Structure 1
Amino acid sequence: MTDTRTPEDTGIRASWTPMVGLFLAQVLMSFNVSALPVSLGGMVDDFGVPPTDVSTAIVTYGLVVAALVMVGAKIGQRVGWVLVFRIVVVVFAASALTMILAPGVGWVIFAQALAGAAAAIIVPSLVALIAENYRGPQQATAIGALGSARAIAGVTAFLVGGTLATLVGWRPVFGIVLVLALAVLGFSSRLRSAPGNPAVKIDVAAALLIGAGIVSLTLGVNNLNRWGLLHARPDAPFDIVGLSPAPVLVIVGVLFVQSFFLWTRRRTRAGKVPLVSLTVFGSSQERAAIYAMFTVVALEAALNFTVPLYIQIVQGRTPFDTSLAMLPFNLTVFVTATLVVRFYGRFSPRTIGVFSFSLTTVALIWLAFVVTNNWETLPTILGLIVFGVGQGALVTLVFNVLVTASPKELAGDVGSVRGTTQNLASAVGTAVAGALLVGILTTNVAAATAAHPELPDELVAQVDLDRTNFVSNDRLREVLAETDATPAQVDAAVALNESARLGALRLGLLILAGVSAVAIFPASRLPSYRREELPASVASGADDG
């Protein structure tokens, strides 16, 4: 007769060796994402493309994960978590190898699409495999370790990745990703799980609706600047009665997402198993947690794109300089995410959420006023640290709220919603940051050239300032050297470029501060109870992870 007792029942603690593999799997995904901004300058130089083209790879990764993570959870249940986990880790390794050998930016985007497809299954499998391999306090500790793994990977990627990208090149950074994938594959031999259940059905219609919605939304937002905010620009692949396809895609994406919810409600009423249970969105508190999660992750992604953009592209400095600039922020996020749980007994999620969004808002406003073309000033570092405190507290808090508000049997659905929300937010945050900053820069340059008669229209046409992007002063001088600009005109254009860039950065930070301030309202709808005030049933589910 098979012994079905858990380690908790027998008093035997399970080995932590399988958890090492799961921990490294979280590090693998987070390191890959964090390594992309660090490698921004190297890819721009190698491939001769603007930074917004490289940011498309970051957007692609988040888009694919967000579009497929709900389906990934069902595939794991149907095939078996250990088997499917090993398969997708191999796919992630193939993605890293493609990054190392990529001859162009198109291959980088393809590689990140592969990595995103693999991560869409890794994300839900981590929670499922922890539940299969650990019980009680060990399970709670294991789930908490996933949060710290994400922060540790961010710090490591910026430090180690930045050093490698500076001294050797950006490609060896993804050699680390390849090594991590192989290590995870090795540790996976110690994992155990129940066999797959072929009876699990995948709601194909819902998967297509949510996938199409996320893809449409992200593509629309990512191309608002390139294709046009309202009227179609020359770069747009097509137009709709003169309108840009970008806002149309955003509207279509919203319609697809709404259709997904309508279809899922109908399927649930018919007694069929949905792709994801809508009870996860059931209360205003759970919806507030999801809104808050989306906002804070999008703000983090926007900042993680903006800082490397200015340091590597505008200032022309090294990835290692980027690492040093982002180190205070990443360390603060790690420490705060680890320590914020100590305050759950003294303050309610509502209080912590409102306070944290107030911090991120104040930090962004502060940065907008103190930032210069040098990110190493004390006021700038202080602003990044304050933002990191708020961001670290929020990411941990809102996931905790979702877990404690839902029944234990819906943990998989909570994981799917978390994965979809975080990766969609990351993709949208990066896309919006790129579109916003380039859009403001273009406006600033157009206004400045009109106000500088020493820059004639003929010179403006030669350097194509109507389609400007972020370039360093040295690069701009190289471009102007190929025109008939006089030395005085070159100096004027460089001064104009420097002023326009800084203005774009400051206004962009103020807009992000406005988004953060608006998020205080959903945060004010988070639960008002403290941890010791939880109902017994809910507290038990929270403790079980």
Structure 2
Amino acid sequence: MEQAPGTIRISSPTGRWILLTSVLGSSMALLDSTAVNVALPHIGDDFGASLEQLQWTANAYLLTLASFILLGGALSDRYGRRKIFVIGIAGFAVASLLCGLAPNAEVLIAARALQGVAGALLTPGSLALIQASFSPDDRARAVGIWSGLGGVGAAVGPFLGGWLVDGPGWRWVFLLNLPLAAICVPVALRHVPESRASTAPQGSDTSGAVLGALSLALVTYGLISTDWVSGLLGVVTGALFVYAERRHKAPMLPPGLFASRRFTSINLVTLLVYAAFGGFFFLIPLQLQVVSGYSALAAGTALLPTTLLMLALSGRSAAVGERIGPRAPLTLGCLLAGAGMLLLRTGPDAVYLVDVLPGMVVLGMGMVALVAPLTATVLASVSEDRAGIASGVNNATARAAGLIAVAALPALTGMGPDTYRVPEQFDTAFDQALLLCAAVLAGAALLSFVLLREPALRPAPPPECRMHCAITAPPLNPGRRKQTDPPLESRS
């Protein structure tokens, strides 16, 4: 007999099954986000791809994910969290199969865009299943387990991606998702109770999602192809998006959120921080393989210190931010992360322990200092009933920032279509990119110091924000229902 949502205990067999499918589902997206960049040089070699095509391999996924992740959360609340989660898992598996079988770069890019759409359904649903299913007494512990195991998945991603690329080949970075999906879907259908928000809006902001996606696509295309007409059209479409959101009855991006000075400030900081991180983590695997001569496995392993440090220390960072407020951790974290980038010495024949590891450790410490307080500040800047949408906006902002950075950095540093095939040219451009990323982080530090003057944070960061180690976006929080809210409707 299926248990009702909101009553399941973590020690029960059903509770363990729910944790399993949620962790495996979120791990699919985490593994792809950290492993694909390691595979880019090999994808380029196999397809004879230009740097622009490699940019789109990364950005097609980010584009659709950033554009539709807010809509995915709304659809989950309206039509059923289990249903949308399962659709997302199945869609992600189909898109991953298309990626793994792609005969050329164009098909791979299209399949990556489909992955992003599916990821927008899967990513919010993974945590929402736990929040909706477990008893209030067990919810925090369940979320902590989900967050910790997800962190392990994020940490393993670069290493596993490198091992697959050097072993059976880069296609297995995508094909690995198929057995994970084959476990997730039947477990979810059999063991996860259906739930939905009884107060979910009756309309979905599809037009807003489409306008947002079109704006980001045009701006991204304009930056990658240096086509300023497309970029200008993207800006105009963005203005139409803002206008449409102001008029929509249930906008996916409520304009009223930005009435909070702190919310607006922290999203500006997020935009700068994740632009720097997005550009850096796109280019560093290319640099280590093309210039330093590392294998894909060695390049993936080189990135491990950042995620391992975040996995080990994010909880303490959240506690410090709760006690002293976000200003100092965010300012110091941005400066440390920028300093770590500048410490890297990734030229020809770079020795990992001497030239790479110190910079990665300092970068990781900076990320430890800033990620948990950043997310906690977002949640503390709005009322509790808007925590889910505020977290989603912040997450989408971070992904859009990475998208734009991956598009803009090669153009700003003078990289041509074949620069990544010429080690000397790529090395020079990469050094310029590091300076730009560090400068952007310095700007984020200045904004944090000037704009975030309030002292301690209340309420305390939720469990999913206290242990987090993804490098592409801050963690999502689906929001917590008040005790007076109507109960969740259940479906057998």
Counterpart in 2 of 1:231? none
Q: Give the structure 2 partner of residue 354 of structure 1.
A: 331
Letter in 1 for 2:115: A
Shift of 1:133: 1.0
Structure 1 equivalent of residue 473 of structure 2? none
Q: Secondary structure at the match of 1:169?
A: coil
- What residue in structure 2 maps to residue 400 of structure 1? 376
For residue 251 of structure 2, what is the amino acid of its counterpart? P
Q: Could you report, residue by residue, the CA deviation over 1:202-230 in whole angstroms, capped at 9, with x for unpaired residues?
A: 23443333222222222223x1xxx33xx
Which structure 2 residues correspond to residues 520-535 of structure 1 after superposition, within 5 A?
Answer: 520-524=445-449, 525-526=451-452, 528-531=454-457, 534=458
| 2:421 corresponding residue in structure 1 | 471
Query: Match for 1:372: what amino acid?
Result: G
- Residue in 1 aligned with 2:258? 281
Q: Distance in 2 between matches of 1:132 and 1:153?
A: 23
C-alpha distance 539-517 of structure 1, shift in aligned 2 (>3 A): closer
Cα drift, residue 181 of structure 1: 2.1
**Aligned AA (1:98):** L
Is the aligned partner of 1:508 residue 2:433? Answer: yes
Q: Which runs of 5+ in 1 are unaligned?
A: 229-245, 443-466, 474-497
| Alpha-carbon contact 2:287-2:427 (below 8 Å) kept | no
**1:273 counterpart SS class:** coil
Q: Is the 8 A contact 2:71 2:209 kept in 1?
A: yes
* Stretch moving more, 309-318 or 507-516: 309-318
Seen in structure 2, the aligned counterparts of structure 1 residues 17 and 148 have a Cα distance that, compared at 3 Å, is same
Out of 232, 248, 262, which is 2:243 matched to?
262
In structure 2, the partner of 1:110 is 110
Per-residue deviation, 1:127: 3.7
Kindly indicate whether the alpha-carbon contact (under 8 Å) linking 2:143 and 2:463 is maintained by their aligned counterparts in 1.
no
Q: Is the 8 A contact 1:96 1:174 kept in 2?
A: yes
Matches within 5 A, 1:420-459: 420-437=396-413, 439=414, 441=415
Out of 314, 318, 330, the residue aligned to residue 337 of structure 1 is: 314
- Indicate how the Cα distance of structure 1 residues 436 and 54 shifts in structure 2: closer, same or farther if over 3 A, else same: same
Indicate whether 1:37 and 2:62 are aligned: no
Structure 2 CA distance for partners of 1:133 and 1:4, relative to 1, 3 Å: closer
CA offsets 1:219-248 (integer angstroms, 9 cap, x no match) = 223x1xxx33xxxxxxxxxxxxxxxxx333
Partner of 1:494: none
**Does the Cα contact within 8 Å between 2:38 and 2:161 map onto a contact in 1?**
yes
Q: TM-score, normalised by structure 2?
A: 0.84
Aligned residue-pair number: 461
Matched, 1:95 2:99: no
1:175 aligns with 2:175: yes
**Structure 2 unpaired stretches of 5+:** 465-478, 481-492
2:394 match: 418
CA contact (8 A) 2:343 2:358 kept: no
**Which segment is superposed worse, 407-416 or 176-185?**
407-416
**2:5 touches 2:132 (CA, 8 Å); kept in 1?**
no
Q: Is the 8 A contact 2:376 2:461 kept in 1?
A: no
Corresponding residue for residue 302 of structure 1: 279
- Give yes or no for contact 2:280–2:437 (8 Å, CA) kept in 1: no
Give CA deviations for 1:141-185 in whole Å, capped at 9, x if unaligned. 444555545543332121122112112211223232222222222
User: 1:307 Cα deviation (Å)?
Assistant: 1.5
**What is the alpha-carbon distance in structure 2 between the residues aligned to residue 63 and residue 338 of structure 1?**
30
- SS of residue paired to 1:194: strand
Aligned partner letter, 2:419: N
| Residues 293 and 394, structure 1, Cα contact 8 Å, conserved in 2 | no
**Aligned residue in 2 for 1:211:** 213
Aligned pairs for 1:209-248 (under 5 A) are: 209-221=211-223, 223=224, 227-228=225-226, 246-248=227-229
1:190 alignment counterpart: 191
The answer to whether the 8 A contact 1:124-1:412 is kept is no
C-alpha distance 66-186 of structure 1, shift in aligned 2 (>3 A): same
- Maintained 8 Å contact 2:279/2:409: yes
Specify the code of the residue in structure 2 equivalent to 1:343. V
RMSD: 3.1
User: How far did residue 14 of structure 1 move?
Assistant: 7.9
Call closer, same or farther: CA 1:258–1:203 in 2, change over 3 Å: same
Q: Secondary structure at the match of 1:172?
A: helix
Flag the 1:374–1:139 CA change in 2: closer, same or farther, 3 A. farther
Distance (whole Å) between structure 1 residues aligned to residue 193 and residue 380 of structure 2: 26
Q: Distance in 2 between matches of 1:347 and 1:216?
A: 42
Partner Cα separation in structure 2 for residue 295 and residue 182 of structure 1:
38
Amino acid at match of 1:249: S
CA contact (8 A) 2:76 2:196 kept: no
Paired residue type of 1:202: S
Take 1:329 and 1:194, find their aligned partners in 2: how far apart are those partners?
36
**Identical residues among aligned pairs (%):** 23
Map of 1:242 onto structure 2 = none
Code of the residue aligned with 1:61 in structure 2: it is Y
Query: Of the two, which has the highest radius of gyration?
Result: 1
Bigger mean CA deviation after superposition, 196-205 or 324-333:
196-205
- What CA distance in whole angstroms lies between the structure 2 residues aligned with 1:14 and 1:162? 35
